[in-house]
Amino acid sequence: MSANPTSDITLVDAGRLAVLQEMRRDPTVWVLGEDVGRGGLWGQYRGLLDEFGPERIVSTPISESTIMGAGLGAALVGTRPIIEMRMFDFVMCAMDELVNQIAKVRYMFGGQAKPAVVVRMPHGMWRNSAAQHSQMLEAWFAHLPGVVVVCPSNAEDEAGLLVSAIRSDDPVLFFDPKDLWTAPGQITDGEIAPIPFGKARHARKGDALTIVTWSAVTPNVLTAADQLARDGINVDVFDLRTIWPWDQDAVAASLARTKRLLVVHEAVEVGGFGAEIIATMIDRLGPAAIKVAKRLGAPRIPVPFAPPLENEVRITRLSAPCPGDSATSPRGHRGAAQGNE
Amino acid sequence: MSANPTSDITLVDAGRLAVLQEMRRDPTVWVLGEDVGRGGLWGQYRGLLDEFGPERIVSTPISESTIMGAGLGAALVGTRPIIEMRMFDFVMCAMDELVNQIAKVRYMFGGQAKPAVVVRMPHGMWRNSAAQHSQMLEAWFAHLPGVVVVCPSNAEDEAGLLVSAIRSDDPVLFFDPKDLWTAPGQITDGEIAPIPFGKARHARKGDALTIVTWSAVTPNVLTAADQLARDGINVDVFDLRTIWPWDQDAVAASLARTKRLLVVHEAVEVGGFGAEIIATMIDRLGPAAIKVAKRLGAPRIPVPFAPPLENEVRITRLSAPCPGDSATSPRGHRGAAQGNE
Amino acid sequence: MATPGGAPAPAGDNLRRLTDLYRMMVRIRTFEETALEAYKLGEIPGPLHVSFGQEAIPAGVCASLRQDDRLTSNHRGHGHALAKGADAATMYLELYGRDGGYCRGKGGSMHIADFSVGMLGANGVVAGGLAIAVGAAQGLKLLKSDAIAVCMFGDGATNRGPFLEALNWAAIYTLPVLFVCEDNGVAAHTETRTVTAGDGPAARANAIGVPAVTIDGNDAVTVDETVARLVADVRAGRGPRMIHAMTDRWSGHTATDAAAWRDPKKVEAAKTRCPIARLKSVLIERGLAPAVLEEIGTAARNEMHAGRAAANAAPWPSVPSAYDDVQSVGAVSGGR
Amino acid sequence: MATPGGAPAPAGDNLRRLTDLYRMMVRIRTFEETALEAYKLGEIPGPLHVSFGQEAIPAGVCASLRQDDRLTSNHRGHGHALAKGADAATMYLELYGRDGGYCRGKGGSMHIADFSVGMLGANGVVAGGLAIAVGAAQGLKLLKSDAIAVCMFGDGATNRGPFLEALNWAAIYTLPVLFVCEDNGVAAHTETRTVTAGDGPAARANAIGVPAVTIDGNDAVTVDETVARLVADVRAGRGPRMIHAMTDRWSGHTATDAAAWRDPKKVEAAKTRCPIARLKSVLIERGLAPAVLEEIGTAARNEMHAGRAAANAAPWPSVPSAYDDVQSVGAVSGGR
Ligand SMILES: Cc1ncc(C[n+]2csc(CCOP(=O)(O)OP(=O)(O)O)c2C)c(N)n1
Ligand SMILES: Cc1ncc(C[n+]2csc(CCOP(=O)(O)OP(=O)(O)O)c2C)c(N)n1
Ligand SMILES: [Mg+2]
Ligand SMILES: [Mg+2]
């Protein structure tokens, strides 16, 4: 991707380096959350306590409402907290603070407040964690005014988007893809550059079909795209990176060429952000300009525990209208993450 | 609508009569929430304390998490609680109990649990209540497996859908339309019959355009439809009543005729349930079968306080692609509700 | 009442200080009387919560605060804002939803905020300010400021989870927070004692690890003296403290609530405990000239009537401003 | 251990009862040892939380319960389920995610439930069971049942808001709930005392209005006697009670957590407080034949090994069953 030298790195470490860089750069950046002093549940803050001490790497009680709300309060006096929520599902214990306070204070107070928080919320399926530890509800927050919604899919984006998130004056909801923590990747050596919000990664190029995706399913989509390419079918793949704002222009330009749209996300299909993408494109280009517009998402069922049932919810294959109906390889990197929940 | 004699009634009283009828019918039905012993914030439980006593009309502390969670616990031992949340916005204080517990227990425990709760959540704008007391996030819950999502728009539906909700073994999220509490309506005399979930009300008939709507904006849509009819343009209007399940068949059949779809909702347009309707119809009928598919919803901003700003968020006019671009009359019934928040 | 930047005047038997306290209480009362009158005439939209009978608490609390101390408030926040140093006329503009109001017409009464004087906002969610206050204190501590955070909330808020969480949080990190529970005995349409078990907010706070005292919140002198002492503790880094101040709410929950269920005798009895009348007798006893007291009342009336009139005549915010201040990246523009 | 439908046997110096207690504790220990072994061999997917060292509490609590009493649990719920009367083999099927498991393979270890014996489910959310328990008690009261609700949670849960809300709730409605705080001193990777202020869970409960006692949770006899007394109070309608039981967690937070940060000396010391060894000496002292003790161990091993083997050989749930039990109206069917 980059002309500069790169290093191999896992996604979790890429995120850790981004936090490290920004904490060194800006003394008002700090982290609060359960067990962050021990490196965080996933090792995403490993070693930071030693360098920054317990006033900037703050291990908290199990008090999600207050983790979220205190982060906001600290932002209102001019610090830049990274609010670590351990798992997205636990954010449900802090929704008043997120939805009614963080997302609203700037507007409701007429611009006086600067809620410059990053809320990190590792989400998605991971090792048969079942219904209360596997949810993906990122679509909800695109519907919520006042926030930016970030869904990285690889180490480089994790790092660059996290740098942007920490520097942003907006509340940034940052969905770490749990299932990809230990996925191998590369980042460019040297300073981690911020990646702007709202700019998709054009991950594969082609004319046969426009695929739009984000977060943990992206590697599977790319594997499928590679297989199709071997069959001579080249698809345009956009990894959105952020679903609010999202890169409508890039998708529209591609779709104007391919006339075929497939949105793939691991969240439940009904009411997911895929619907928004389709509705927006239909509105922008007109139905006549589009031949096919489909979604591939999870069925509207909670995430079950048993492997064969959980697999039914995972997007492990691409179905119609993708020509060739090929199966992608199953996830190969679910073994080694530190998480002990 | 009905051949039987009807009585004039406001929506709030229609709901109250439904609760009264079901509480008389079934001694396991009860109500819990703040101030319900004094009739509820909106008068929706007026007089019920006298008849049923404080064990079935339970006034609670300001403990939203526990109001929600206790309702679930009580359902798990075989009662049928009506969980009154006062205002939808406060549900954000009880999202763990709603999202991680109520919506999941049946599935997660393999069918052992019967979470037969009704969660009443008056929602939407009402009298310049500003960002923390005006939200409409019903779309979120269509995306959440395990729940039914009900959004009545008139007195008759409020009553019939509430009867169904109370009798249902599913968790039913019932969004009372705050702005219509005192809107005049009719209900059929005698026993209130349940209205099935997933069956839209075909409110106006026509071939020019299919309009799909629900909740508090519905009267405005119907006013607009009447005005268009006077100009000789007849539109098909569906009041969905429930957005999960929703009446895909009725909408698809209409759209196959009209080829023009407009979804109108008062919630934020981005990521709203209108997107789901459009994406589903495009998928079902194919883009080629549809000429226009548009949404009309609120801009993605929190609800502001000042009347001219709040009006900018309200859907008080229908814009393109509705032929004739007519303005509906502004809301006329915002005066008399009891609510004292 | 806040003494910007400087050290607070010493509490106690200080006529000048008590007169200032009195002036603030009269201003709060007059602000709300004027607002209520305007509300009843339909001049003010949205919900309005007045605090007749509770004025000694915000006045007494803020008398020991600096301008750079931060305060979080609840839905009944006019007094908190005025006492912290907000400008009455700008508040009226906001109550009226007009251009130039503190929140540019986006908040209204329930969301009054003036960050320039450390007033971090009223809050429409009961107990919503608690976590924000402890976070503000934590941020201040990280920034090595010696400013403190003060958190105002009602008796109703002590039955919500954030009460437990925020107090525990403040205690474990030894944060500079003063919690102030204004206990008027009611929460919306419920007598709080009917839904609250145990020995009350102070007992809860003590058990959670925040030293707390219960005081007569209608006695401005007691409030002032207690706060001065506790603020000194808090500012010295001795950790959080809580004041549980007993008071009365004379009126209904909102401006449209007649509170017909309340025993009129109890409400009448509450009025005999008027904190303003009480401080007035103290001042007279200590020899303050009646003319000064009179002058304070007149000045407050003039201030509030001018503020009301200006607000009533002020223009609405421009419609495109509805799209301002949502977020920096990803904001939508007008015209849908 | 639950005595279905009938009255509990009297607590105290009753060899038969203590032997039953011991048997249950051994079954819990052996269940989890077997599960952990299987887990390490990759037989069991998902997270697994074992409770070595805590067995006296579920055994002692459930000894005084009836089958129709309801119990809510947390993430560390194997012992709670077994003690309440769940079947070990069916639990293994669920841990393995197999057909015939308690949750038909949808829950796993963290969501074990057996409604037929009043076990309303383990819970993946810390403090998630508290509100459910008070609601169950409220429902039982409405139905005029004399069954009670019991709520098991850890020390970590006492810093979450639901702890305050649920205890207050139980107290104001005089609900039949027994709260049981299993205080093993740790919450995930944190020593709870480092994030908990004040005088601990019992002090908090007392202040909120729920009478609470702190006991040695590693002494099965104490647990049994205390619970018997408090359950009698609760069942008699005297309102909620809380037990704060001090105990130890020997292992890491989950089966994959080595808990390297913990002081090995402290963990060794904890093992010397083993509740099973302790009750064993009591039984021997009181003259129980060593052969009986041996037999209990053997029976438990046989039971658990058989359960494990059966689960390991059992078929997976059918894929279409993934679509069952979502909801009655509005359910989707398979095949997307
Ligand atoms: C979480 C939440 N629940 C309910 C409400 C509705 N409500 C607004 S004020 C209030 C009563 C608050 O009582 P208290 O805290 O004692 O303050 P007071 O009104 O007496 O000043 C209620 C129930 C709310 N705003 N937020
Ligand atoms: C609301 C919530 N926050 C965080 C977690 C992650 N988590 C699971 S168990 C646990 C520790 C719980 O400690 P405690 O209640 O003492 O129970 P123990 O594990 O010691 O038995 C944590 C933090 C969770 N499941 N739910
Ligand atoms: Mg009060
Ligand atoms: Mg513990």
**Per-residue pLDDT averaged across B260-279, rounded?**
98
Inform me whether the C-beta atom of residue B109 falls under 8 Å from chain A C-beta atoms: no
Please count the CA atoms within 13 angstroms of the CA of B271 that sit on its side-chain side. Answer: 24
> 3-state secondary structure string, chain C?
CCCCCCCCCCCCCCHHHHHHHHHHHHHHHHHHHHHHHHHHCCCCCCCCCCCCCCCHHHHHHHCCCCCCCEEECCCCCHHHHHHHCCCHHHHHHHHCCCCCCCCCCCCCHHHCCEHHHCECCCCCCCCHHHHHHHHHHHHHHHCCCCCCEEEEEEHHHHHCHHHHHHHHHHHHCCCCEEEEEEECCEECCEEHHHHCCCCCHHHHHHHHCCCEEEEECCCHHHHHHHHHHHHHHHHCCCCCEEEEEECCCCCCCCCCCCCCCCCHHHHHHHHHCCHHHHHHHHHHHCCCCHHHHHHHHHHHHHHHHHHHHHHHHCCCCCHHHHHCCCCCCCCCCCCC
**Per-residue pLDDT averaged across B214-224, rounded?**
96
- Ligand 1 pocket check for C242: Cβ under 6 Å: no
Which residues contact residue A319 at a Cβ distance below 8 angstroms, ignoring those fewer than 6 apart?
A: A296, A325, D336
Residues of B tagged active-site: 133
Indicate the range of A317-326, B11-20, C61-70 predicted with least confidence. A317-326
Numbered residues of chain A with Cβ closer than 8 Å to any chain D Cβ: 34-35, 38, 41, 59-65, 89-90, 92-93, 127-133, 269-270, 296, 299-302, 304-309, 312-313, 319, 340-341
Residue in D closest to B59 by C-alpha:
D173
Portion of chain C with pLDDT greater than 70, in percent = 96
| Residue B284 burial (C-beta neighbours within 10 Å; 0-12, 13-18, 19+) | middle
**Per-residue pLDDT averaged across B200-226, rounded?**
97
Q: Phi first, then psi: give them for residue A206, nearest 5 degrees.
A: 180, 175
Average pLDDT over chain A reads 93
pLDDT at A331: 31
Q: How far is CA B149 from CA B120, B140, B291, D322, in A?
A: 11, 10, 29, 22
Report the alpha-carbon distance of residue B190 to residue B174 in Å, rounded.
23
- pLDDT above 90 for C3: no
**Per-residue pLDDT averaged across A95-116, rounded?**
98
- Ligand 2 pocket check for A269: Cβ under 6 Å: no
- pLDDT above 80 for C9: no
SS3 at position D237: coil
Residue A67's nearest CA partner among A22, A119, A136 is: A119
pLDDT at B1: 46
Position C327 in a domain: no
Helix (H) or strand (E) holding B265: strand B260-268
Ligand nearest to the CA of C154: 1
Residue in A closest to B96 by C-alpha:
A92
Residues of C in contact with B301 (CB under 8 A): 322-323, 326, 332
- pLDDT above 80 for B327: no
Angle at C196 between CA C190 and CA C201, to 5 degrees: 115
Q: Is the ipTM of this complex over 0.90?
A: yes
Query: Sign of dihedral through CA atoms B15, B16, B20, B21?
Result: negative
B254: tokens are 């209409």
- Atom nearest to C157 CA in ligand 1: 15
Sketch out chain A's domains with CATH numbers. 10-188 (3.40.50.970), 201-313 (3.40.50.920)
B341: tokens are 């928040």
Report the alpha-carbon distance of residue D116 to residue D85 in Å, rounded.
9
pLDDT at B3: 66
Residue A39's nearest CA partner among A181, A234, A200, A212 is: A181
The DSSP secondary structure of A173-241, one letter per residue, reads EE--BGGGTT-EEEEESSSPPPPPTT--EEEE--SS-EEEE-GGGHHHHHHHHHHHHHTT---EEEE-S
**Per-residue pLDDT averaged across D211-231, rounded?**
98
Average pLDDT over chain D reads 95
Contact, B70 vs D135, CB < 8 A?
Answer: yes
**Per-residue pLDDT averaged across C187-194, rounded?**
95
**Per-residue pLDDT averaged across B27-54, rounded?**
98
pLDDT at B318: 42
Report the alpha-carbon distance of residue C49 to residue C254 in Å, rounded.
5
pLDDT at D13: 63
Domain total for chain D?
Answer: 1
Beta bridge partners of A299: none
pLDDT at C153: 98
pLDDT at A315: 87
- Ligand 1 pocket check for B64: Cβ under 6 Å: yes
What CATH number should be reported for the domain holding residue D243?
Answer: 3.40.50.970
pLDDT at C156: 98
| Residue D192 burial (C-beta neighbours within 10 Å; 0-12, 13-18, 19+) | buried
What distance lies between CA B132 and its chain's CA centroid?
19
pLDDT at B315: 87
pLDDT tens-place string over residues D130-172 = 999 999 999 999 999 999 999 999 999 999 999 999 999 999 9
pLDDT at C334: 73
**Per-residue pLDDT averaged across A321-329, rounded?**
30
pLDDT at B340: 60
Contact, A52 vs A199, CB < 8 A?
Answer: no
User: What is the pTM assigned to this prediction?
Assistant: 0.96
pLDDT tens-place string over residues A17-73 = 999 999 999 999 999 999 999 999 999 999 999 999 999 999 999 999 999 999 999
Report the alpha-carbon distance of residue D154 to residue D179 in Å, rounded.
11
Position D325 in a domain: no
Q: Which chains touch D (3 or more CB pairs under 8 A)?
A: A, B, C
pLDDT at A4: 80
**Per-residue pLDDT averaged across A237-265, rounded?**
98
Q: Report the separation in Å between the CA atom of C296 and the middle of ligand 4, taken as the mean of its atom positions.
A: 58
Strand B6-10 relative to strand B184-188, pairing: antiparallel
- Atom nearest to D158 CA in ligand 2: 15
**Per-residue pLDDT averaged across A220-231, rounded?**
96
Portion of chain B with pLDDT greater than 70, in percent = 91
Q: Report the separation in Å between the CA atom of C183 and the middle of ligand 3, taken as the mean of its atom positions.
A: 5
Residues of A in contact with C326 (CB under 8 A): 106-107, 145-146
Q: Phi first, then psi: give them for residue C70, nearest 5 degrees.
A: -105, 150
pLDDT tens-place string over residues C144-153 = 999 999 999 9
pLDDT at C333: 86
Q: Phi first, then psi: give them for residue A247, nearest 5 degrees.
A: -85, 75
Range of the domain at D133: 17-312
Residue D268's CB is within 10 A of a number of other CB atoms, namely: 10
Res. A1 pLDDT band, cuts 50 70 90: very low
Ligand nearest to the CA of D79: 2
SS3 at position B184: strand
Contact, C247 vs C28, CB < 8 A?
Answer: no
- pLDDT above 90 for D12: no
C218: tokens are 């209608």
pLDDT tens-place string over residues C209-218 = 999 999 999 9
Q: Is A333 a catalytic residue?
A: no
Res. A3 pLDDT band, cuts 50 70 90: low
Res. A322 pLDDT band, cuts 50 70 90: very low
pLDDT tens-place string over residues A298-316 = 999 999 999 999 999 998 6
Query: Ligand 1, atom 19: nearest CA belongs to which residue?
Result: C187
Query: Ligand 2, atom 12: nearest CA belongs to which residue?
Result: D187
Report the alpha-carbon distance of residue B211 to residue B278 in Å, rounded.
11
Average pLDDT over chain C reads 95
Helix (H) or strand (E) holding B244: strand B242-244
Contact, D29 vs D55, CB < 8 A?
Answer: yes
